[in-house]
Structures are given as C-alpha cells and as structure tokens.
Amino acid sequence: MQGFVDFIQAFLGLGATVILPVVIFLLGILFGQKPGKAFRSGLTIGVAFVGIFLVIDLLTLNLGPAAQGMVDRLGVSLNTIDIGWPATSSIAWASTIAAFIIPLGLVVNVIMLVTKTTKTMNVDIWNFWHYTFMGAIVYTVSGSIVQGLIAATLFQIICLKIADWTQPMVRDFYEMPGVSVATGSTISYAPFIFVVKGLQKIPGINKLHADPDSIQKRFGVFGDSMVIGLILGAAIGALAGYGVGDIINIGISMAAVMVLMPRMVKILMEGLMPVSESARTWLNKHFGDREINIGLDAAVLLGHPSVIATALILTPVTVLIAVILPGNAVLPFGDLATIPFVIAFVVGASKGNIIHSVIVGSIMIAVSLYVATDIAPLFTDMAMRADINLPEGSAQVSSIDQGGNIVNWVIWRFFDLFN
C-alpha cells in the first residue's frame, strides 16, 4: 500500500502542467484520435497551462508582498495566518486517505456519466486534491477512513452537479463551448450567483454598470484592459506604501496579467477543442445523442478581463474587511492570488459587471473569513500532523481557498454531528 501511495504522490507532484497533457493524450487515443493529433492536443494544453500558471505566479509574487505592506501600514495583528493553497494541498496529500481519492473519484465520475447524473467528464485530476482535503477533514474528526471517503465523494458529487448547472454560463459568457468547471475552490461560491440575481433587482443598484467594454468606450485608451491593469496595480502598490519605482513595477506586472491571461486561455482552447469534439462523437456513438462537457481547472476562466479587474479591486478590500470584520481572526495572505478563482462564477453571473461583482465579492470574502476562522483549530491540527511549519508569530493557520470553502464547512459540520 505504501508503494502505491508513494506512486500517487510522485505522480501528483508533477503538477497540472504534466498531468493534464498526459490525461488529454490518453483521452484522445480512447476517443479515436490519431496518436499524432492526440499528442499535439495534449502538448498544446500543457503549454497553455504553463503560461497560465506563470501568469498566476506573477499575481502571487506581486499581491502577497503588497498585502503584507498594507497590513503593516494598518498596524493590525491577526493571529491566524492564511497559508495559501500550496500548503493546503500538501496537507491534503499527506492524509491517510489520499491514495484512495483519485481511483475513487474516477469511478464516481464514470458511474455518474453512465447513469446520466452528470454531463461533466472531469479530467482535472490535479484538483482532486480538493476532494482529498474534504475527506481529510472528516477523517481527522472521526478517525474513520470510510467516513472520510464518503465525505470526499459527497463533495465531488456536489462539484460535478454545480459544474453542470454553471456550464451554460461558461459556454455563453466565457465563450467556452463543451467546457465546464468543477474546481472545488470555485464551485463553493456558486450559491452567490443568487445574490447577484437579487442585487440586479434592487432599484438604483441595478443601474450601476461597468465592464471592460463599456469602460473603454467611455474612457478610450484609459479604458483598455491593459491600462486598467496598470492603474489597479499601481493603486495596490500605493496602498502598500511602495516607492515610485515599485508602484510602476507592480502596475506593469498587472497590465501584463490582463494581456497575457486571455492569450494563454486561447491557446488552451486550441488544444482542447479537437479532444472535446472527438469525445462528443465517441460518446454519442456509444451512449446516444447527449451533451458531454470536459471538466477543466477554473484557471481557464481567468482569461476574461472582468475577472482579473474584479480580483485586483478586491485585493485591498479583502485586507480591509479582515481588519474591520468583528470576530475574524484570519489574516489574508497566501490565497490572495486565488481571489480570481473565487469570484469567477459571480463575474459570469453578473455578465462582467465589475461593480456588482465587487459588491457580491466583498460579501463572499466576509463569509469566507468567518468560515476560515471557525475551522482554524482543526486546520492547524491537520497542518501540524502534516509537518507544516506554522508561520512566525501565528497561533493558528487557515486559508481562504479551502479553510474558507463554504461547501467544505457544511459537510464538515454535518459529519461533526456524529463524531
């Protein structure tokens, strides 16, 4: 068993940029593509994800220090540190149940496809770590592998059902036919789509509208998405107390994010579409004429300028909310760069309206911080068991990504009733 666990951990250690091309290549062969065409599709998707993650790293390297600068200027002290998704995924894969999650997840997905209870064929195996983390939480509180696996399966089913529900939005607003998103850190905030719908019915507020296209029409060159990135990045640098040179640097970096992310997503779709069409043809031949969507990492949604613009505005807002929110103990840090993932569905529901997205996003962040605060003692216990070093000056650790994940919290609290 230990050898199998080591193999799984080594495979996952290769990261999404290796795992996804391999999976896409194998799927292409399975669905009748010629090896050369399947190989090119897998390689193209791998190249695209390398580019996407490089841009995400650009976000992380700039937003983390800027957030710390804002916190230092405010002079606040919160004793629970947001350690970010990389450390959180390490906690997940260190769990006893980790070796079971990938085979179990694949079986569950196949069963749901055969029984027509989902339209999503989720190839985003790397992000199965979200299911693993859910299972690890319940395993920690119960000591039961069975309960942990049931919790992980329940979380996966919810992810797939929400992926089906939100697919029309991914298709129409994000212009990605045949693609759905079942990433655990994104689906958790899908219920806030209803908040967007409610907001759009409030007189006065429903008239407030700003998206990249309307901004560019009104302000010309200053409404260009690249210039918006420059302005928002420079504003974040100024709030962090940076010098002129660093302000310009972070501004240009955010401008680069606004330009490069959509282009990386375009490359991704170039590699995905041939496999998607082959999959649909094969499935229709064997299971009749039915809609099947390929489940991908939520990173594919970050190509829309409204997502990045909303996330950049929410970065200082998140720090401010953490400071003034009564009862919050979490200091946002490691997961500030995951804000685009968190708000992607809300931006899509608002059809790119940045004003509505920021309002609802602020509510989401407040809820997430309360959830992350509540789970912090358990989260810290799991981190210590996984030999994760606590940051200097922190009493506890948590995260926005999974510590603040609302679906995680509901499932955990349900199982906690029996333990």
Higher pLDDT, 299 or 407: 407
Radius of gyration of the chain (CA): 21
344, 298 in Cβ contact below 8 A?
yes
Q: What is the pLDDT averaged over residues 69-86?
A: 78
How many CB atoms are closer than 10 A to CB 419?
A: 11
Extract the tokens encoding 299: 């990173």
pLDDT number for residue 409: 94
pLDDT number for residue 226: 81
- Within 8 A by CB and 6+ apart from 192, the residues are 345, 346, 360, 363, 364
Overall domain count for the chain: 1
pLDDT number for residue 274: 81
Is residue 116 predicted with pLDDT exceeding 60?
A: yes
Is residue 63 predicted with pLDDT exceeding 60?
A: yes
Phi and psi at residue 122, in whole multiples of 5°?
-85, 110
CA contacts within 13 A on the Cβ side of 240? 25
CA 412 to chain CA centroid, Å, is 20
Is residue 19 predicted with pLDDT exceeding 70?
A: yes
User: Mean pLDDT in the chain?
Assistant: 83
The angle, 0 to 180 degrees and rounded to 10, between the axes of the packed helices 244-287 and 16-30 is 20
Q: d(Cα 279, Cα 292) in Å, to the nearest integer?
A: 8
412, 141 in Cβ contact below 8 A?
yes
Q: What is the pTM of this model?
A: 0.82
Phi and psi at residue 10, in whole multiples of 5°?
-65, -40
Nearest to 180 by CA among 344, 371, 1: 344
Range of the domain at 186: 1-417
pLDDT number for residue 192: 94
pLDDT number for residue 168: 95
Is residue 288 predicted with pLDDT exceeding 80?
A: no
SS3 labels along 331-353: ECCCCHHHHHHHHHHHHHHCCCC
Residues 205-263: pLDDT tens digits? Answer: 777 777 766 665 665 565 567 887 788 888 888 888 888 888 888 888 888 887 887 78
pLDDT number for residue 117: 93
296, 264 in Cβ contact below 8 A?
no
156, 132 in Cβ contact below 8 A?
no
pLDDT number for residue 180: 92
Is residue 35 predicted with pLDDT exceeding 80?
A: yes
pLDDT number for residue 277: 76
